[in-house]
């Protein structure tokens, strides 16, 4: 979820926003001052119905601001 890998320009779609913005939008994790990934969430449930919740909040530089991690056991 934090991959900043971008495909070559030849593989980018032409959605009408311009090549520079297409490049910005093409990675899974987007970092820019005014637009980008601000939160990622992972939720898993195992075979014993234990829920593992992890959420990371990022600032405009792509650095972690806050992390929440909860493990909920089934009753």
Q: For residue 1, what pLDDT band results from cuts at 50, 70 and 90?
A: confident
Distance CA 42, CA 3 (A): 15
Query: What pLDDT, in 10s, does the model give residues 27-67?
Result: 999 998 889 999 999 999 999 999 999 999 999 889 999 99
Domain spans of the chain, in order of start: 1-35, 38-75
CB 67 within 8 A of CB 54: yes
Query: What pLDDT, in 10s, does the model give residues 11-24?
Result: 999 999 999 999 99
Distance CA 31, CA 73 (A): 35
* CB neighbourhood size of 52 (10 A): 13
Q: For residue 74, what pLDDT band results from cuts at 50, 70 and 90?
A: confident
CA angle 66, 43, 49 (to 5 degrees): 130
Q: What's the pTM value of the predicted model, to 2 decimals?
A: 0.75
């Amino acid at each position: 979820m934090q991959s900043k890998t971008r495909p070559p320009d030849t593989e980018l779609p032409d959605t009408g926003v311009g090549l520079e913005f297409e490049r910005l939008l093409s990675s899974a994790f987007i970092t820019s001052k005014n637009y980008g990934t601000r939160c990622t969430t992972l939720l898993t449930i195992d075979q014993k119905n234990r829920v593992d919740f992890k959420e990371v909040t990022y600032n405009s530089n792509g650095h972690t601001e806050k992390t929440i991690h909860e493990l909920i056991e089934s009753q």
